[in-house]
Amino acid sequence: MKKKALILADEAMLSLVFGSKQRALLEELVDVEVFAGDYQDLDSVLAAMENVQLLFCTWGMKPLDKNFIAASTQLEAIFYAAGSIRYIVSDEFWKSGIKICSAWAANAIPVAEMTLGLVILSLKQVFTHSRNCTGPEGYRRLPVAGAYESTVGLIGMGMIGRHVRELLTNLEVDVLVYDPYLSDAEAKALGVTKVSLDELFTQSDVVSLHAPNIPDTRNMIRGGHFRQLKPGATFINTARGALVHEGELIEVLQQRKDITAILDVTNPEPPREGSPLYTLPNVILTPHIAGSMGQECRRMAQYMVDECRRYLNGEPLLYQITQEMIKTMA
């Protein structure tokens, strides 16, 4: 007899994340229903959890608090077709013993892909060149590092950082890494050189930030780091804006027109009205688009369908998150 599963998502997220292919594959594995009530009506959501053994959900998921746990008497596992679970779990959830898996690895793929593209463009100073070419007087080449024997610095070697490093093997560049949790043996296996944060900023042609947003990392990147950047260097942030002291970043960018900051994330998000980030010529601002968008969102559901298959077959889970793991995750 198949286990009872529920896809819990509002109409927009259901259409975006759980495609017809993923739903068809899920129907082969479990007796699946789709939540048909008012997603804003908490009582309807809790009522839908009756007799549910496996839950599939995504962005916008309700908090897994004591009321949710009390209503989910038969729930065994949650398959979260999105990234971070930090904002939905609770102490009551961890005490419940319910397993939770996340598609953070699937969400890491487009972030790493966008980072690779930005690194390559930055090594050619594409953004500076484009900005200068607004008139004949600016139509000139600047010195560039290029994508051969240049240096890329990665801050954080979690799922995204490791995938970026893997993609960088297509380029003949040296990769420096700052990550206090990375062992020497892991660094050797990854083909990277561990350095201090100061050394990374001093030696890199491009610096890309991939650390988690935890208390130890907030405001870890300061003005002093940006002042150490090479002439013409680029800083990329596709992680979280809270990791960067934004005021000090702006101050350095105003003083050093030769460096570029590519910011897909800010703090707050979007930047406050009147923020210099909107007008500084050496800032490339994008609205948090590095993660899964469009068709990429279906990959997250696919990862969770595959994880459900492993769960049902009694195989080791690849993407289960524990309370201990979340301490160092985004």
Q: How far apart are CA 291 and CA 193, in angstroms?
A: 27
Q: Three-state DSSP class for 75?
A: coil
170 and 255 in a single domain? The answer is yes
DSSP states of 96-152: HT-EEEE-HHHHHHHHHHHHHHHHHHHHTTHHHHHHHTTSGGG--PPP---SEEEEE
Domain count, the chain: 2
Catalytic entry in 163, 165, 225, 240: 240
29 and 125 in a single domain? The answer is no
CATH code, domain with 314: 3.40.50.720
Block means of pLDDT (10 residues each) for the chain, 330 residues, are 94 93 96 90 92 96 94 97 92 95 95 98 95 86 94 96 97 97 96 98 98 93 98 97 97 97 97 97 97 96 98 97 83
Alpha carbon separation from 156 to 182, 202, 262, 271, 330 (Å, rounded): 9, 17, 17, 24, 11
Direct distance between the N- and C-terminal alpha carbons of the chain, in angstroms, rounded to an integer: 37
Taking the alpha carbons of 306, 310, 312, 313 in that order, is the dihedral positive or negative? positive
261 and 113 in a single domain? The answer is yes
- Residue 196: the pLDDT is 98
Residue 248 designated active-site: no
Cα–Cα nearest to 302, from 11, 23, 13 = 23
Cβ contact 56:30 at 8 Å: no
Residue 186 designated active-site: no
Catalytic entry in 172, 269, 272, 315: 269
205 and 324 in a single domain? The answer is no
Convert 25-51 to b/e letters by CB count within 10 Å (16 or more is b). bbeebbebeebeeebeeeeebeebbee
Give the contacts of 213 (CB within 8 A, at least 6 positions apart). Answer: 239, 240, 242, 243, 330
The token pair at 253 is 């960018």
Torsion region of 125: left, alpha or beta (phi above 0 gives left; psi -120 to 50 gives alpha): left
77 and 113 in a single domain? The answer is no
259 and 314 in a single domain? The answer is no
Residue 225 designated active-site: no
Torsion region of 186: left, alpha or beta (phi above 0 gives left; psi -120 to 50 gives alpha): alpha
Q: Compute CA 176 distance to the chain's CA centroid, rounded to the nearest angstrom.
A: 20
Cβ contact 160:113 at 8 Å: no
113 and 261 in a single domain? The answer is yes
246 and 311 in a single domain? The answer is no
Is the pTM of the predicted complex or chain greater than 0.85?
Answer: yes
Domain containing residue 309: 4-102+294-328
Q: How many residues does the chain have?
A: 330
14 and 70 in a single domain? The answer is yes
Give the contacts of 222 (CB within 8 A, at least 6 positions apart). Answer: 245, 248
- Residue 326: the pLDDT is 80
- C-alpha angle with apex 57: 38 to 92, nearest 5 degrees? 95
93 and 227 in a single domain? The answer is no
DSSP states of 206-237: EEEE----STTTTT-B-HHHHHTSPTT-EEEE
22 and 59 in a single domain? The answer is yes
The token pair at 264 is 């897909």
211 and 63 in a single domain? The answer is no
Catalytic entry in 288, 296, 309, 310: 288
- 268: preceding bond cis by omega (within 30 degrees): yes
